[in-house]
Homo-oligomer: A and B are copies of this chain.
C-alpha cells in the first residue's frame, strides 16, 4: 500500500466532487494499493487549511455544507496560499480545481507551476494552464520527474486523454472530431425540437448547464480550449487558441435547424483537429450533419469524441461532459494513473 498525500486547490463544485469521489472510491483504490491522505484544501471562499495527519473528506464536506469555515477544522492549520502550504507540509499530488481562466491562466497556472517546481505531481481539471502553457509545464514536470495530468479538462471524467495516451499509443491517431461542449449541444437539441435560441438558452441556464454569461460556451471558447488541449496532447501539435478557427452557435436560426431536422440533418458544434504531415488544422464550428453521423445521434448535454487512427480506423467514446461527480472522478482517475506510473 502506498499513501499519496493530496492537496486540493479550489473547493467549489469540482473540488468537492473530488472529495466525494475519494470517499466513494476508497475501497476500490485500496484494492489497487493506493491510499489517499487529504493533507490540505485551499479556497478563499471557504478557508485554506493544511493538516499533515490528514483531513477527513466527509467532515470537510459536512462543514462547507453547513456554511462553516474550514479553518475551524480541529487540528488544522490555516495557510495563506499554495506556497505557504508547500512550505509547511509535504504534498505528493496537487488536485488543481480552481475556475478556468483562458486569458492568462490565472491562479490555476500559478498553482500548477509552483507545484511542479516543488516536485509535486499535478492533476488538474482547469483548462487554462493546459490550453495556454502545456509545453512549458510538461517540460517542467519532466525536469522534476513528476506527472502533469489533465483528464478533467476535456469531457470531464470521461477518460478520453487516458484512452489516447495508453490505449491508442502507437495506433497512429491522425485526427479527431467531437461534440465537446454539452451546453451548446443541449441548446441545439432543444432548438431542433422547436424552441428559439433564447428559449433554449434560458432552459440551459435554468438547468445549470449554462452560466449567467454564456459567452464562453455559445461563442465556442470552451470547445476551442478543448481542441487545443487534445491537439497538443494527442496529436503532438503546438497550437494556441488563436490557431483554432472558431465560430459559435449564436448565429444559428432555430427555424433553419427545424427545417433541416425534418430533412434528416442535425446541426452540431463540431470541434476537430487534423494532422497532415507537419501541418495541423483545428476548428470549432456549427456543422450540418446527416443523421447517420454518430455526432448527429448525440442529443442533450453529453459529449462524444471520435479518434481516427491508422491501426483501428475510428474509435469513439461517449460520456458526460460536465457534472460534479464526473469531473471529481477525473482527478481520482489521474491519481490512479500517477500511482500506476510510479510502479507498484
Interface, chain A (partner B; CB < 8 A): 21, 24-25, 28-29, 32, 151, 156-159, 162-163, 166-172, 294, 297, 310-320, 325-326, 328-329, 332-333, 336-337, 340-344
Smallest CB separation, A57 vs chain B (Å)? 13
Bound state CA distance, A159 and B311, in angstroms?
12
Interface centre among A167, A294, A315, A320 (most CB of B within 10 A): A167
List 3 A-B pairs, minimum CB-CB distance, nearest first.
A159-B167, A25-B170, A343-B343
Asked if B317 contacts A312 (CB within 8 A), the reply is: no
Copies per complex of this chain: 2
Which residue of the partner chain B has the closest CB to A32?
B169
With A310-B24, A326-B312 known to touch, is A336 a contact of B32 (CB < 8 Å)?
no
Bound state CA distance, A199 and B156, in angstroms?
45
Asked if B170 contacts A332 (CB within 8 A), the reply is: yes
- What would 6 A/B residue contacts be, using CB atoms closer than 8 Å? A24-B170, A158-B167, A166-B340, A170-B332, A311-B329, A317-B317
Smallest CB separation, A69 vs chain B (Å)? 28
Which residue of the partner chain B has the closest CB to A158?
B315
Smallest CB separation, A59 vs chain B (Å)? 20
Neighbouring B residues of A312 by C-beta, 8 Å? 156-158, 319-320, 325-326, 329
Neighbouring B residues of A344 by C-beta, 8 Å? 341
Given A159-B167, A170-B333, A316-B318, 20 other A-B contacts at CB below 8 A? A24-B170, A24-B310, A28-B170, A151-B167, A158-B315, A159-B166, A159-B168, A169-B333, A170-B332, A294-B318, A310-B325, A311-B328, A312-B325, A312-B326, A313-B320, A315-B317, A315-B318, A316-B317, A317-B318, A340-B341
